[in-house]
Amino acid sequence: MIAMKKIGLLLLLSLSVFSFANAQTKKTSKTTPKKTPIHRQTVVTKTNNGLVAKNQRVEITTNYGTMVVRLYDETPQHRDNFIKLVTQGFYDSLLFHRVIKSFMIQGGDPLSKHADPNVQLGSGDNGYKIPAEFNKNLFHKKGALAAARDNNPAQMSSGCQFYIVQGKKYTTAELEQIINSRNMSRKQEILYAIYQADTTQAAISALQNLGDQDRIRKYMDEIAVITDKKYKEKYPEAEVVNMDQVQTYIDFGGAPHLDGAYTVFGEIESGYDVLDKIATAETRPGDRPVEDIWMKMRLLK
């Protein structure tokens, strides 16, 4: 019976927090929309490992054609790791093992090299992870190169698996729903953490024993305020809408629901037609293409 009461209180508390959040005023940044990706001039420098780094481009050759991606200097750990693996020939003969139309193409699983057609891929790695390098200016527009990952709490990236976004175009209403859903999910995580704290549980038990519903509701309102404060501290710009990115998702497409959860570390500069061909390839259950789509990579000077 006590457990049922706690579940009910948590539901009411969630509703209280969400009502409080909906009452807040959203801020909007005014920026000039860009409808296509920015292309930057290559500048050659050296990393500590002697590898070319600054605005480095990588050519990805497949049996469907060739794509060229530019690695972002704003994500140096992911950039340098990708350069290292390309230089070592790590990706050569690996497959794009997971393809989902209007979403993304994924590759980099070392187990995919010469893999049996009936084997489900995606669990292979190279033995290490890379700390997340989230950047609010680097987002999941069409052609974005990003790091795959498992469900580790630190959201660290796979040391080798990556994906390229095909995505789709979104309406303003759809984007608003995605942003609101993301913010509510983040706020709910903070709420649950507060709710599970020993001090909160003790206070709730005491109020339940008193049977004072008015005091219980006041306590819920207090927790709602605390949750909102912690949320703003952790995500200070979560409700600031970048209109440039919104316009890109409307005109160019992408996968906005992935923003802030996976590290974007590059983008396609040429070969969008190849991306579209791979993304629309016939697949079997598990999203593996029926026809193997292999890759070979090299650094461009």
User: Looking at residue 195, what is its pLDDT?
Assistant: 86
- Looking at CATH, the fold of the domain delimited by 57-169+253-300 is given as Cyclophilin (2.40.100)
- The region that residue 93 occupies, defined by phi over 0 for left and psi between -120 and 50 for alpha, beta otherwise, is left
Say if CB 84 and CB 51 are below 8 A apart. yes
Per the CB < 8 A criterion, the answer to whether 234 and 190 are in contact is yes
Question: What string of DSSP letters covers 202-259?
Answer: HHHHHHHHHT-HHHHHHHHHHHHHHHHHHHHHH-TTTTEEEHHHHHHHHHT-B-GGGT
CATH 2.40.100.10 domain span(s) along the chain:
57-169+253-300
Phi-psi region of 244 (alpha: psi -120 to 50; beta: other; left: phi over 0): alpha
For residue 3, give Cα distances in angstroms to 6, 205, 212. Answer: 5, 11, 18
CA 39 from centre of chain: 22
Please say whether the beta carbons of 93 and 113 come within 8 A.
yes
Say how far residue 164 (Cα) sits from the centre of its chain. 12
Per-residue pLDDT tens digits of the chain, which is 301 residues long = 334 444 444 544 554 545 544 544 344 333 433 433 433 333 444 444 455 568 899 999 999 999 999 999 999 999 999 999 999 999 999 999 999 999 999 999 999 999 999 899 999 999 999 999 999 999 999 999 999 999 999 999 999 999 999 999 999 999 999 999 988 988 999 999 998 899 988 988 888 888 878 888 898 899 999 999 999 988 887 777 889 999 999 999 999 999 999 999 999 999 999 999 999 999 999 999 999 999 999 999 8
